[in-house]
A and B are shown apart, each in its own frame.
Chain A
Amino acid sequence: MPGLEDLYREIILDHYKNPRNRGTLEPPAVRGEGHNPLCGDEIEVFLIVKDGIVEDIKIAGQGCSISQSSASMMGVAVKGKTVENARAFIARIKHMLSIDEEGEPDTSIALGDLEALTGVVKFPVRIKCAVLSWNTLAEALDIAAE
């Protein structure tokens, strides 16, 4: 049986206790909103996308350590990156979390701190916590592209 330390790596607890890019952005920033109806976790992702670059990102909402730390690490990973890179990152993370999507993800993308989320796969009920912010980011990117 996997232990708690497989799930709650040091880096995850650090992002949970000290979330990065926490806050909101005013329009013209776009806003994506994600809910986990089973547990009530909520994530809001605010984005400023200019010339194909994610110039700024802020994250609000509330939830468990996995959903909140995943969101915090996500903000760090995509801020300043191109939209294309951000979308590739979403596909890469979902693949890592064993969520099947169409197409092959680019596994050469370096995961950095997000490597810590690999342990979540051993706790299937928590995968939905880890993926919530990434689905919300995808929605916000779609809105920004409109």
Chain B
Amino acid sequence: MSFDLQRVRADFPVLAEVINGKPLVYLDSANSSQKPNAVIDAMTSFLQHDYSPTNRSAYTMAAHATDLYEGARTKVARFINAPRAEEVVFTKNATEALNLVAHSWGSANLSEGDSIVLTHMEHHANIVPWQMLAAEKGFTIRWVPLTSDGLLDLTNINELLTGASAFSFTAMSNVLGTINPVKELCALAHQHGAIAIVDGCQSVPHMPTDVQDWDADFVAFSSHKMVGPSGIGLLWGRENLLDAMPPFLGGGNMISDVKLEGFTCADLPAKFEAGTQPITEAVGLAAAVDYLTAIGMHNVRQHEREITAYALETLTNRFGDDIVIHGSRDINQRGATLSFAYRDVHPHDVSQVLDQHNVCVRAGHHCAKPLMRLLGANATVRASFYLYNTNDEVDALADALAEAGDFFTL
């Protein structure tokens, strides 16, 4: 199927918004993506006609809702080429998925004298849960440094991984856009007897994912960054690891039996899904997966390569040394997320001027403060593109940036 940008845009109603006579230019998809009609309609229809609780009541409607909920799991499993749907666990968001791994796998497997390996480009969601657990258990955290162009510096990776129990890393930086060599990193982890945990939040929405080809052990990602609703996140894990782990949250749905003396756990995936689940959100997520599958993830990636190349070229040609774009210039090594510094204008002030033109970007530390310290910046402006963005929107960004420059000339 060929990629038709105008047809894709027509699928996303919010992109037709006009505010104060100017079109919306949404460049914040690394933060959260917009939603196509297919997702909006699926959720609305479910709420209007089909809503009921899952996995407990016996009436027809409840059975149908359960089928839709479990059908979403099957679709997600296929989307990332997971061997079994039962290995896909629904969570509140990707942050909760990473917390689940840290607290459940980590508390059972890490103690004083152990170590894990993280990287300098991690999101706080893949740092803080480990730091919380390390404070309790006394294991150490080692850090993979970065090269000057924002890639992982693997010079001493064997030394870092020696004796480590886990290597947890992002597949793509949410600040630099760097795409990491996930398959190679998983192999390195396994060579040293460590498990490989992948934060797929920034990669799964933007390129094909094959967890078996990666040979990963856990992969966390979120629905809301891949045209699905917020309120539901995903953890895929190897069945033998998930089976051996203690439960994370306790309550209804996750048990097989409860007696006064104690409880026994349900089988996967219910074991990790305590309480009423985000049912409508799962229905929306299933529609999102169908939508992206129909477009083709190779096509999404190809479109983003083209728009990234155009953005790098446009911003560099127009602003020269006035703009510093962090990370690699090689579109084979980066996704469509561009963080930059523009002259001496503070990122908040840049974003304020851009907002006057309805150009939506994120200004701040992007929940990656260790990386920001490495860049020597308190904040950056981040423009992130997705399947629905156009070269015209890159131009709108550049025009608005030029105005910010005029306004704040120091």
Contacts and interface: CB of A to CB of B under 8 A. Distances in A.
A38 interface: yes
Contact of B352 (A7, A41, A42): A7
A1 B365 CA distance: 28
Given A64-B348, A65-B349, A39 B379 contact: yes
Contact of B364 (A4, A39, A42, A62): A39
Contacts of A38: 364
Residue among A39, A40, A65, A129 with the most chain B CB within 10 A?
Answer: A40
B352 A123 contact: yes
A34 interface: no
A18 B372 CA distance: 26
B44 to A, nearest CB: 30
Contacts of A13: 408
Contacts of B347: 64
B372 A40 contact: yes
Interface in A78-104: none
A44 to B, nearest CB: 14
A82 to B, nearest CB: 33
Contacts of B372: 40
Given A39-B363, A64-B346, A4 B353 contact: yes
Interface in B326-376: 346-349, 352-353, 356, 363-365, 369, 372
The size bracket of the interface on A is: 20 to 34
Contact of B407 (A4, A39, A42): A4
Interface string A1-30: 101100110000100010000000000000
A105 interface: no
Contact of A3 (B356, B365, B410): B356
The size bracket of the interface on B is: 10 to 19
A29 B20 CA distance: 50
A42 B379 CA distance: 11
B212 interface: no
B407 A41 contact: no
Nearest to A1: B20
B378 interface: yes
Nearest to A4: B356
A64 B349 contact: yes
A18 to B, nearest CB: 10
A4 B352 contact: yes
Contacts of B369: 40
Interface in B292-348: 346-348
B380 to A, nearest CB: 10
A63 B378 contact: yes
B261 to A, nearest CB: 45
A39 B348 contact: yes
A17 B349 CA distance: 13
A11 B42 CA distance: 52
A96 to B, nearest CB: 20
A8 B356 CA distance: 13
A17 B378 contact: no
Contacts of A129: 348
Residue among B20, B356, B372 with the most chain A CB within 10 A?
Answer: B356
A139 B336 CA distance: 42
A93 to B, nearest CB: 20
A122 to B, nearest CB: 12
B374 to A, nearest CB: 14
Given A1-B20, A63-B378, A64-B346, A17 B363 contact: no
Contacts of A4: 352-353, 356, 407
A11 to B, nearest CB: 15
Residue among A8, A13, A39, A42 with the most chain B CB within 10 A?
Answer: A39
Given A63-B346, A63-B378, A64-B346, A8 B407 contact: yes
Contacts of B378: 39-42, 62-63
A41 B352 CA distance: 15
A40 B379 contact: yes
Interface of B: 19-20, 346-349, 352-353, 356, 363-365, 369, 372, 378-379, 407-408, 410
Given A4-B352, A41-B378, 5 more contacts: A3-B356, A40-B379, A42-B378, A62-B378, A65-B346
21 contacts: A1-B20, A1-B356, A3-B356, A4-B352, A4-B353, A4-B356, A7-B352, A13-B408, A17-B410, A39-B364, A40-B379, A41-B348, A41-B378, A62-B378, A63-B346, A64-B348, A65-B348, A65-B349, A65-B408, A126-B352, A129-B348
Interface of A: 1, 3-4, 7-8, 13, 17, 38-42, 62-66, 123, 126, 129
